[in-house]
Chains A and B, each alone.
Chain A
Amino acid sequence: DTAVSQTPKYLVTQMGNDKSIKCEQNLGHDTMYWYKQDSKKFLKIMFSYNNKELIINETVPNRFSPKSPDKAHLNLHINSLELGDSAVYFCASRRDGYHLGQYFGPGTRLLVL
């Protein structure tokens, strides 16, 4: 009964490859997010998405694209992977309304060689 799940947990790949990370939430939440956490533990938002609007952090390269097949899923697709993309990627979700706390998934550890 995991609330926010991500697959895979670990991803090791070569530069130039295209990869996807999947995220699912079973909380019935309205908005989902992707964050990148670097080696210094700094968490930075990449995207936020609900059925009305996609907000993209302007610093995110266009090689990254979120794809939402339905309200419970927000996948992250990355084209032409670069060494600097190595990081931990977290998915999160939140229910619209007063409480703005986001619930995070366990993370996907991406290593680009």
Chain B
Amino acid sequence: GESVGLHLPTLSVQEGDNSIINCAYSNSASDYFIWYKQESGKGPQFIIDIRSNMDKRQGQRVTVLLNKTVKHLSLQIAATQPGDSAVYFCAETPPSNYGGSQGNLIFGKGTKLSVKP
């Protein structure tokens, strides 16, 4: 079946640098995407979302970019801090005929971000 995947399983950055986490999705009919952050021992935490009618959305220190042409999603974190160290997941919501009638999310494999002080 179709699924969401990530290009890089691990990413190590220096504190203060910008981080970019990438995600490729295969279901071109998906119309809603979310980035989650999961710290060790905790549940996933919502970071930012974007609908397919947008190509960019900004939050506090985070920006999500959506390129529907190549089915690519990225999360940019500005001035990365030690507290940003976590596993980051992208998730997509397929249309209802793919089980999306209740907003079901399909998660990617996750990227572990490590921030070096």
How far, in angstroms, from A92 to B89 measured CA to CA in the complex? Answer: 15
Tell whether, in the assembled complex, residue B43 and residue A106 are in contact, meaning their CB atoms are under 8 Å apart.
yes
Count chain B residues whose beta carbon lies closer than 8 angstroms to a beta carbon of A: 24
- Assembly CA distance A90 to B106 (angstroms): 14
Question: Which 4 A-B pairs rank lowest in CB-CB distance, beginning with the nearest?
Answer: A104-B43, A43-B107, A100-B103, A48-B102
Q: Which of A50, A55, A96, A106 is B42 in contact with, Cβ under 8 Å?
A: A106
Interface residues of A (CB under 8 A from B): 4, 31, 33, 40-45, 48-50, 53, 55, 57, 90, 92, 94, 96, 99-107
Q: Does B104 contact A (CB under 8 A)?
A: yes
Q: Is B115 interfacial (CB-CB < 8 Å)?
A: no
B residues near A, CB below 8 A? 32, 34, 36, 38, 41-46, 49, 87, 89, 93, 99, 101-107, 109-110
Write out the residue numbers on chain A whose beta carbons fall within 8 Å of the beta carbon of B99: 55, 57
A42 neighbours in B (Cβ, 8 Å)? 107, 109-110
Please tell me which one of the listed residues A4, A41, A96, A105 contacts residue B87 in the complex, with CB atoms under 8 A apart: A41
Beta-carbon nearest neighbor of B100 in chain A: A100
Docked Cα-Cα span, A29 to B23, in Å, equals 29
Whether the pair B43, A48 counts as a contact (CB closer than 8 A) is: no
Chain B residues within 8 Å of A41, by CB = 38, 87, 109-110
Contact A94 B45 (CB under 8 A): no
Known contacts A41-B110, A55-B101; is A101 also within 8 Å of B89 by CB? Answer: no
